[in-house]
Amino acid sequence: MARHSELVKIPRIDRYITKLALGTAPLGGLFTSVAESDAESTILTAVDAGIKYFDTAPLYGYGNAERRLGSALNKSGKEFVISTKVGRVLDKITPENKSEDDSLGSYVDVDPTLTPIFDFSREGILRSIEESLARLKIPAIDIAYIHDADDRIGEAIEKSYPVLDELRTQGVIKGIGVGMNYCAPSIKAVKEMDLDIILIAGRFSLLDQSAQEQLFKECKKKNTGVVIGGVYNSGILANPVAGATYDYAPASDELIKKAQQIKKLLEDFHVPLTAAAIQFPLRHPAVTAVLTGSRTVKELTANIADFDREIPSAVWDALEESGLVNRIEL
């Protein structure tokens, strides 16, 4: 079996996911328009390739990604594991509730009458789950992540978690997680909530290994699964040229230089930077799976090829010995 389709159990719940998962932000029209037929082809190609775990959110395309994912997976006739997210609801636009987050304008082809609003309340969580189930056309959700709670982690712990815990007890959801961007609030989340899994973007990559300093240790203590997103740090690790982005902002000259040095070292071993980037997170035993988005079949097949490529241990040793990448802390 190819590496991308190998199944691994989420430690605390009865769900097996593939080591490579498909994220659906691009299929919701992140930055670039995606036709319905292309979205369906990409999802069905992933299914046919043996990928079993799919992540989505109401934010992605303001409901479009959930609808597209549910439609394609229900056509596939195969078993799958779905995670979606809570913490934002889609409200009708009025002058008072025009989107509070400028970055949310990154999605194209969205319903112009909708705007995403942060809502970590009990009512907001229940509404979010109910609307996601309707868009996905499934009877239950495998994993519900509290989405982008980095700056509102106290609210997520006090208000959102208790209702998700009730839904988990009732079987409406199987597992609870957080989908985060930074280590400090993620550590607080793992310590103060009974989480089955976390999704963290960009904090365990070739350019940033900060998640292993404390977060992974807390996850191992609680037997909490870890999914790593943002393996390219939003683009710099796919193509480290002037103007590249790091965490969706222009990358510093220093970071671009470091990414170029990593790329050069890898070239000596004939290993593409993208292959090392997508495989790196699974080197740590705390990591359960890697999540990447694709907007086309071509992107998906390239990601699978990179993920399955054999990279000799000498390559990782050389990266560590160069000081460009920190050693794996077990």
Which are the catalytic amino acids? 55, 60, 85
Find out whether 146 and 156 touch, Cβ atoms under 8 Å. yes
Look at the alpha carbons of 11, 17, 23, 27 in this order and tell me if their dihedral is positive or negative.
Answer: negative
Q: Read off the DSSP letter of residue 30.
A: B
Find out whether 226 and 198 touch, Cβ atoms under 8 Å. yes
Helix and strand numbers (H, E) in the chain are 11, 14
Contacts of 10 (CB under 8 A, 6+ apart): 16, 17, 143, 175, 196, 197, 225, 288
Instruction: State the Cα–Cα distance between residues 87 and 33, nearest whole angstrom.
Output: 25
Contacts of 249 (CB under 8 A, 6+ apart): none
Of 38, 79, 72, which Cα lies nearest the Cα of 56?
72
Which residue type, as a one-letter code, is found at position 165? D
Q: Phi, psi at residue 141, to the nearest 5°? A: -110, 135
Q: Which two tokens stand for residue 248?
A: 């969706």
